[in-house]
């Protein structure tokens, strides 16, 4: 076996074991964990803010923000009413199970109902590293273009739901929704999909209801 492949497999295997440990910690505390992934600017933080505004009076919510530098997104989550933990990856293009484990150590899970993880903005690396959350959500946005499922298949294959953000911009951008959806369907048939706009609030209710139902059942 190629030495590089063996090293990569060893790293991913160790990460999966820690991810299982993280999942156990969440399960024992009855916390629903959601991992949000997207490219930079797709709207992860905006969607988190909307989710907090709609659910913070019903659930205790914590947000773990992963970024290469700064605490801008964690500050926004805290301002919206969440317990917020910032993880600066120091150049890494993704969060991993070790980073999340460290973040969980800064939270009292017994006082939390819902944990939202905002992964580093990237359409490649985050797909390869499990965190131990219950659901993985990909956020795509209309301005990114309709070719993303074809160019980044790994991200679309491994997620439990897809948010298509900024649909209010579709009349002004050359974005073929049918072409986009065909690409998604080929990779992840029947994927739960939420077309919405964090700006106009179109479609947001369906997303909020879905997360509410999951958190209530956890």
User: Which of 140, 114, 118, 138 has the alpha carbon at shortest distance from 197?
Assistant: 140
Helix, strand, or coil here: 62?
strand
pLDDT digits (tens, 9 = 90+) for 180-203: 999 999 999 999 999 999 999 999
Q: Do residues 35 and 137 lie in contact, with contact meaning Cβ atoms separated by under 8 Å?
A: yes
Band of pLDDT at residue 38, cut at 50, 70 and 90: very high
Is the per-residue pLDDT at 4 higher than 70?
no
| Percent of the chain surpassing pLDDT 90 | 71
pLDDT at 84: 84
State yes or no: pLDDT of 10 exceeds 70. Answer: no
Domain boundaries, the chain: 3-217
- Per DSSP, 203 falls in state T
Cα 146 to Cα 140: distance, rounded to the nearest angstrom: 9
Whether residue 3 is predicted with pLDDT greater than 80 in this model: the reply is: no
Sign of CA dihedral 71, 109, 101, 139: negative
Is domain 3-217 given the CATH code 3.40.50.720 in the classification?
A: no
Q: Could you give the percent of the chain with pLDDT greater than 70?
A: 93
pLDDT class of 80 with cuts at 50, 70, 90: confident
Per-residue pLDDT at 37? 95
Mean per-residue pLDDT of the chain: 90
With residue 36 as reference, give the H or E element that holds it: strand 32-38
pLDDT in tens, 114-168: 999 999 888 988 888 899 999 999 999 999 999 999 999 999 998 999 999 999 9
Q: What is the mean pLDDT of residues 98-110?
A: 93
Residue 68 contacts residue 88 (beta carbons within 8 Å) = yes
- CA–CA gap between residue 182 and residue 201 (Å, rounded): 25
pLDDT band at 11 (very low <50, low <70, confident <90, very high): low
The radius of gyration of the chain's CA atoms, rounded to the nearest angstrom, is: 17
Q: Which tokens in the block code for residue 23?
A: 């999942």
| Banded pLDDT at 207 (limits 50, 70, 90) | very high
Supply the pLDDT for residue 2. Answer: 52
* DSSP state, residue 34: E
* Whether residue 9 has pLDDT greater than 60: no
- In this prediction, residue 86 carries a pLDDT of 86
* Distant-in-sequence contacts of 195-200, Cβ < 8 A, 24+ apart: 195/164, 195/167, 196/163, 196/164, 196/165, 196/167, 197/165, 197/166, 197/167, 197/168, 197/169, 198/43, 198/46, 198/47, 198/49, 198/50, 198/165, 198/166, 199/46, 199/166, 199/168, 200/168
Q: If you ran DSSP here, which 8-state letter would residue 169 be given?
A: G
Q: 168 vs 165, 196, 199, CA distance in Å?
A: 8, 8, 8
CA distance 96 to 36: 13
């Amino acid at each position: 076996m190629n030495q590089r492949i063996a090293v990569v497999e060893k790293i991913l295997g160790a990460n999966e074991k820690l991810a299982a440990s993280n999942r156990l910690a969440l399960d024992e505390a009855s916390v629903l964990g959601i991992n949000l992934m997207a490219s930079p600017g797709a709207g992860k933080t905006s969607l988190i803010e909307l989710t907090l505004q709609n659910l913070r009076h019903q659930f205790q919510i914590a947000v773990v923000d992963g970024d290469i530098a700064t605490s801008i997104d964690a500050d926004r989550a805290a301002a919206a009413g969440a317990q917020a933990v910032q993880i600066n990856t120091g150049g890494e293009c993704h969060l991993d199970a070790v980073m999340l484990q460290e973040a969980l150590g800064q939270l009292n899970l017994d006082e939390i109902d819902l944990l939202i993880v905002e992964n580093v903005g990237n359409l490649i690396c985050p797909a390869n590293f499990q965190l131990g959350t219950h659901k993985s959500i990909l956020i795509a946005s209309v301005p990114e273009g309709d070719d993303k499922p074809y160019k980044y298949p790994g991200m679309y294959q491994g997620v439990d739901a897809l948010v298509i953000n900024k649909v209010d911009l579709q009349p002004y951008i050359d974005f073929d929704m049918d072409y986009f959806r065909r690409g998604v369907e080929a990779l992840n048939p029947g994927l739960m999909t939420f077309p919405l706009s964090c700006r106009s609030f179109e479609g947001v209710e369906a997303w909020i209801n879905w997360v509410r139902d999951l958190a209530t059942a956890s």
